[in-house]
Amino acid sequence: MRKLFLPLAVLFLLSQCARQQEPVQLPAENKPAVSTSKPAAPMPRIRVMEATEDLQFMPAELCYLDEEVPGIKVDLRYCGYDNFVGRPIDGYTTGTRAILRRDAAECLKRAQHELNAQGLGLLVWDAYRPHRAMKDFYAWSRTDEAAMKHKYYPNITKQGIYDGKYIRRTSEHSLGVAVDVTIINLATGRELDMGTGFDFLDPSSATRFTGITPEQHANRMLLRNTMNRAGMRNYKREWWHYFLKNRGNCTRYDFPLCDTLLPQP
């Protein structure tokens, strides 16, 4: 019996040694993570240009849109009374020419060229927007005045305009990189039917809203695809609003519109 016990004991000890030499597997959550993602790109910086009333020269990075895009039509709604506030907006009372950053204007030039080949063209309702206009919008939203509610925001309150993110306290327009735009038929001068009008602040103005006709949807997609190919991106809540895809560092401007700014010397 003792002769049998001794070999068994030796085998037992050898098996224990072998088990101790097996590598220990750490649970997956305890393994050090190896990051494969690229470092995040630095956020574009926004410089604020001091407000000025006596600007004589166009900032070098900006331009008059009608000088850069042949044949483009412009009707700046905030210069007049046909807008959701119902009066000219602060910053728009001294000029009617659209201003835009040069790289954004180049995008519109490409879009205009593509549409012209189809007998169509662009109509711009807003481009550069002085920051003071955003302050004017907000001050108006705190009043009881609602003369244009029936036409522009019949289904929401003034606070709903901000809650629904139709307007914010700041805007890409003030950076000179955004436009409100539609398509017109060059032969007739008429706008293509987009299902709602400009600045109709309602879910039906969302670019991919489904409760419109096939023709209206096709027109919205024509605008979206054309602008996208040209380098502009759509704001999904407003079929008319487009902004520069790659804007880089920006300046927020607040000078009022002026039709006679001179080129930089």
In CATH, what number is assigned to the domain containing residue 124?
3.30.1380.10
Average pLDDT over residues 77-90: 98
Of 172 and 30, which is predicted with more confidence?
Answer: 172
Residue 42's pLDDT is 61
> Is 130 in contact with 253 (CB distance < 8 Å)?
yes
Average pLDDT over the chain reads 88
pLDDT of 80 > 50? The answer is yes
Residue 52's pLDDT is 74
Does 180 map to a domain?
yes
Does 18 map to a domain?
no
Does 65 map to a domain?
yes
Does 14 map to a domain?
no
Identify the band that residue 27 occupies on the pLDDT scale cut at 50, 70 and 90.
Answer: very low
Does 82 map to a domain?
yes
Q: Out of 27-31, 179-183, 195-199, 260-264, which region has the weakest mean confidence (pLDDT)?
A: 27-31
61 in active site: no
Identify the band that residue 31 occupies on the pLDDT scale cut at 50, 70 and 90.
Answer: very low
pLDDT of 57 > 80? The answer is yes
Digit-coded pLDDT (tens) for 120-147:
999 999 999 999 999 999 999 999 999 9
**Rounded CA gap, 70 and 38, in Å?**
42
Tell me which H or E stretch contains 16: helix 2-20
Identify the band that residue 10 occupies on the pLDDT scale cut at 50, 70 and 90.
Answer: very low
Identify the band that residue 90 occupies on the pLDDT scale cut at 50, 70 and 90.
Answer: very high
Does 110 map to a domain?
yes
DSSP string, 27-72: PGGGSPP---SPPPPPPPPEEEPPP-S---B--TTEEEHHHHSTT-
Task: Tell me what percent of the chain is helix, strand and coil, each rounded to the nearest 5.
Answer: 35, 15, 50
Tally of domains within the chain: 1
pLDDT of 18 > 60? The answer is no
Of 123 and 29, which is predicted with more confidence?
Answer: 123
pLDDT of 155 > 70? The answer is yes
Q: Identify the top-confidence range among 4-18, 52-66, 128-142.
A: 128-142
The rounded Cα 75 to chain-centroid distance in angstroms is 20
Average pLDDT over residues 196-212: 98
Please give the residue range of the domain that contains residue 95: 44-252
Digit-coded pLDDT (tens) for 224-259:
999 999 999 999 999 999 999 998 889 999 999 999
Share of the chain above pLDDT 70, in %: 83
The rounded Cα 54 to chain-centroid distance in angstroms is 30
Identify the band that residue 8 occupies on the pLDDT scale cut at 50, 70 and 90.
Answer: very low
Give exposure, 201-227, as e/b (b: 16+ Cβ within 10 Å).
bbeebbbebeebeeebbebbebbbebb
Q: Which residues pair with 124 in a beta bridge?
A: 74, 181
Model pTM score: 0.82
pLDDT of 28 > 50? The answer is no
Does 7 map to a domain?
no
Does 156 map to a domain?
yes
Residue 94 CB neighbour total at 10 angstroms = 15
